[in-house]
Amino acid sequence: MPHGCGRVRTGATFIPGAESLYNIRVRIRSQTTADDLYRPVRDALNAWHKSGRQGALDFLEIVRDRVQRLPEKDRPGALRLKTNEVLLEAIEQLEGEDPDGAAILRRRFLDRQTVLAVAHRHSLDKRSLMRRQEAAIRALASDILARERGLRLEQRRRFEAGLPSAQYSRLFGVRGAAEKLRARLLSPDPPWLAALTGMGGIGKTALAHFVVRDLFDELGPDGVFWLTAAPAGAHSQEAHFERRYLSLLGELARRLDVQAVRPEDRQERVRRALKASSSLVVIDNLESEAEVAWLCERLPELAGPARFLLTSRSLPPVSAEVHTLPLEELPYDDAAALIRFHSSSVGKESLAIRTEKDIRAVYAATGGNPLAIKLVVGLATRLPLPQALQGLERGQDGSVEEMYRRIYARAWQALPPDARRLLLSMPLAADQGGEPAQLIAASGLDEAGFWQAVSELVSRSLLHTQGDAASRRYSIHPLTRTFLHSLILQQDERDGSGSLH
């Protein structure tokens, strides 16, 4: 099965082991036509007066969604009731466009009149009636399909609204890791905790986002809870972990609609709700090894079959029941594809890095680290490649931290003054980003200079854009923050005469 249908959100209640239904679902989300729905709708009309599942349109979200809203959703007949409701609404819709067709359907299926009787009533011969009936059912199928698509679109929007905005336009070299992660998140077996680990800038958040965003069909519109870990702040470590955990429980309780007064009761209710669901909780960007270890002790109480995905630079403790997926640097071919793509996207086409020799040089300097590649490619849009790479050669014993330090230092040197000034203001912005007004005031740039600097830094992957079309915020990668802090401290250790020019 391509999508691990064992974890289809509806579960056993609505899909009694019928693979064909799953197939219909697959077709519905991609290229389903009204013709594909003709038979199921006809069967559903035929089963109007039956009490069982037969003919129920249980593969449609518009039916399942209504059943889920029923106070007694498991009661017998719920599915039939809601299937008929959907059919009836479609027939009512048809009445406006084809009153005869709607009347034929009502008489044939709701009033259970014979073909002959209805044909007689409509002054048609039997064959003509059957043709009219078929056309009316096709119109019904078309209307139902349009409403199904509308609902799915709305659900998709709801699903995506719960995720952070993507900080990538295309990912490279993640197919294998994405498949493994996807398989893990859809596996019906424990362990229920997964950790995506790897060095800074390797793309943990991007990969998690990429995979989770694609799980809409499996997890449903409300099946994912994405939480971004906040920095530790001023609290003691333990108190900070406790507060974050409490906040996590509160958020889950709210979204699962299982509030309880006392935290211990709430935890129990969240636990029970998660035990009865196949939701996914993502906790992104955990900073410390201690917190990963702390969570690995607490989360198993809540997990199973619900899953938790943690992203962190730190590995979970060996003793923890966690499936760890380490993210490695990109192999050469993928890194080369990223270099070519990013180079064409951020600079002039004529200056793009294309030759094997140049690509190999960038790869040698950055390894397969995507952020490092983007930074170096950004640098190469302003400097000739040999100058951009000067001093960035990665020695045998060169650590990743050292590589980043050198790349950032070189990127910093190559920035125009206004862009430097803005970048140097960024440590003062919140993790969620600073508003333009704050950054303009802090950097001392005029508005035109500020936007120019934004454009410069974004093109060099030194600044991220957040927010929506109406309001923007600008943030930096944690590694960029680390570099800027070290830059400030370095100058501090000298004599403070550091200059931007």
For 6-22, give the secondary structure using H, E and C. HHCCCHHHCCCCCHHHH
Side chain identity at residue 131, one-letter code: R
| Interface size with other proteins, residues (CB under 8 A) | 43
Place of tokens 């600044």: 463
Rounded least distance, CB 260 to other proteins, Å:
8
Among 12-20, 169-177, 434-442, 462-470, the segment contacting other proteins (CB under 8 A): 434-442
Binding of other proteins at residue 166 (CB under 8 A)? Answer: no
Among 164, 200, 427, 478, binds other proteins (CB under 8 A): 427
| x/- track of binding to other proteins for residues 212-251 (CB under 8 A) | -------------------x-xxx-------x--xx--x-
Binding of other proteins at residue 447 (CB under 8 A)? Answer: no
Q: How many helices (H) and strands (E) does the chain have?
A: 22, 7
Tokens of 37: 């729905």
Binding of other proteins at residue 290 (CB under 8 A)? Answer: no
Binding of other proteins at residue 165 (CB under 8 A)? Answer: no
Rounded least distance, CB 220 to other proteins, Å:
25
Spacing of C-alpha 349 from chain mean position: 31
Rounded least distance, CB 450 to other proteins, Å:
13
Among 2-10, 159-167, 188-196, 427-435, the segment contacting other proteins (CB under 8 A): 427-435
Residue with smaller CB distance to other proteins, 169 or 497: 497
Q: Count of CB atoms within 10 A of residue 291's CB?
A: 21
The dihedral formed by the CA atoms of 384, 456, 466 and 324, expressed in degrees to the nearest 10: 20
Sign, CA dihedral 210-356-461-399, equals positive
Compute the distance between CA of residue 307 and CA of residue 319 in angstroms, rounded to an integer.
Answer: 18
Binding of other proteins at residue 424 (CB under 8 A)? Answer: yes
Among 431, 459, 467, 482, binds other proteins (CB under 8 A): 431
Binding of other proteins at residue 254 (CB under 8 A)? Answer: yes
CA dist list (Å): 377 to 215, 259, 353, 460: 32, 50, 8, 8
Binding of other proteins at residue 491 (CB under 8 A)? Answer: yes
Determine the 3-state secondary structure of 497 from DSSP: coil
Helices in 162-203 by DSSP H: which ranges? 175-186
Query: What residues make contact with other proteins under the rule CB under 8 A?
Result: 231, 233-235, 243, 246-247, 250, 253-254, 259-263, 265, 420-421, 424-425, 427-432, 434, 437-438, 441-444, 487-488, 491-492, 495-500
